Structure 1
């Protein structure tokens, strides 16, 4: 029956979605501050027509990817020795001003631009608690960054790095491997925990992700073979019926 094919096709569609999510995780296994994502599957029940099911009948269960959730666990902190590398311990995100607007990030690789602004490797300025770019005076060659984000130089405090906490972290939309767009209100972290000279690595577990990818490939091949064999069975049935009616 065609319903079996439709159910199998729903499984293929969700497997393709799962594969793209796993592939993105693997591609960002070395991206600083990256948080892995995972697909949440669910059954979609399609009841047959009529108030009561026929004797022995059951609801048809289609597969659907209900949602994609982000693993917010802390990545390993790695020491770099670069005084402008900053890791966030616990909750919070850096805010950066990009060409497409304010974006959040856990990637703490920063450098000083020629105009004195602290920015990421693409030149996007790091913002302070007031939402303004942080500019370091030219005379300050040695910077100290306290755990609360306070940046100090030779002449005292320069700025305080803004670290925000979204109201709902699962409403953050990824843009590439490093940035997140906040479609939810954010507030300044009252007591951020920043570590100078370190970065947070991706929290992707590479070997489990590779194993998961192989499992998805096997499942996809199995279901695809079922769809192909079901199509062959239906074609054979049609051919036999036509032969009988000739």
Structure 2
């Protein structure tokens, strides 16, 4: 098979992986705090084995090298739910999971059956003292101030822990809008939290759908290139057999 067919196959493989990323972005358009992703590519150069090729010194194969995450803030949605909290600017909430502490921008909190404030996946939300929050059965008013102080009509329960990281691209995405990292979290001393508001996904539906159409067209063009190359080789072999 000629180098052009190899390149087309490599291009298709890269497009397939990119389509997975775009499809995941679209699937999470309505997930609070979700951050859109984009596949990163580089060019792999190799020398052609065909000495007659005009491109013998530069055969380019696309190769994906990782995923870049758009950490920009998503649009805010007013919910008037006292347990919905949005972070203005940098920062992540801290939750305790079975696999250890993880971090999220999804501030869609709720009370579990024990009166504990938990995240969307049922993980306890931690305070600045690394303790969970408990609301007594007779307490009905929950207030969360801009600095993260959580209080009821009876007492102050603590302050929501908000942290940041030196390299946000190094955060590893987990299920349920959670992130994990080995980096040491740095406390955000003056967070700007907003009660009754959720940060939505920062995915732009129009951009993602446009990319999906472009990927599909590129994949089809690569497939045509492979089919044309196969047809060219078939004709060449038939012509050679006819001369023998």
Q: TM-score, normalised by structure 1?
A: 0.91
Runs of 4+ in structure 1 off by over 4 angstroms are: 54-57
> Aligned pair 1:224/2:229, yes or no?
no
Deviates more, 1:81-90 or 1:232-241: 232-241
CA distance in 1, matches of 2:55, 2:11: 24
Aligned runs of 1:210-221 on 2, under 5 Å? 210-221=209-220
Deviates more, 1:191-200 or 1:114-123: 114-123
Identify the residue that residue 153 of structure 1 maps to in structure 2: 152
Offset from partner CA, 1:6-46 (integer Å, 9 cap, x none): 11111111101110000000000000010100112221111
Change (3 A) 1:187 1:204: same
Aligned runs of 1:68-217 on 2, under 5 Å? 68-217=67-216
Contact 1:28/1:177, CA 8 A, preserved across alignment: no
Q: RMSD between aligned alpha carbons?
A: 1.9
Q: TM-score, normalised by structure 2?
A: 0.92
CA distance in 1, matches of 2:124, 2:79: 21
Offset from partner CA, 1:207-239 (integer Å, 9 cap, x none): 111011001000001101111211121122122
CA distance in 1, matches of 2:177, 2:54: 55
> Aligned pair 1:42/2:42, yes or no?
yes
Q: Which runs of 5+ in 2 are unaligned?
A: none
Offset from partner CA, 1:165-217 (integer Å, 9 cap, x none): 12211011112351112243222211111101100010100011101100100
Change (3 A) 1:121 1:55: closer
CA distance in 2, matches of 1:234, 1:159: 73
CA distance in 2, matches of 1:56, 1:35: 40
Deviates more, 1:130-139 or 1:37-46: 130-139
The alpha-carbon deviation at position 57 of structure 1 amounts to: 4.5
For residue 43 of structure 2, give the secondary structure of its aligned residue in structure 1. Answer: strand
Offset from partner CA, 1:100-122 (integer Å, 9 cap, x none): 33221111111112212101243
Change (3 A) 1:15 1:183: farther
CA distance in 1, matches of 2:92, 2:241: 67
Identify the residue that residue 21 of structure 1 maps to in structure 2: 21
The alpha-carbon deviation at position 60 of structure 1 amounts to: 1.1
Q: How many pairs does the alignment contain?
A: 241
Contact 1:79/1:198, CA 8 A, preserved across alignment: yes
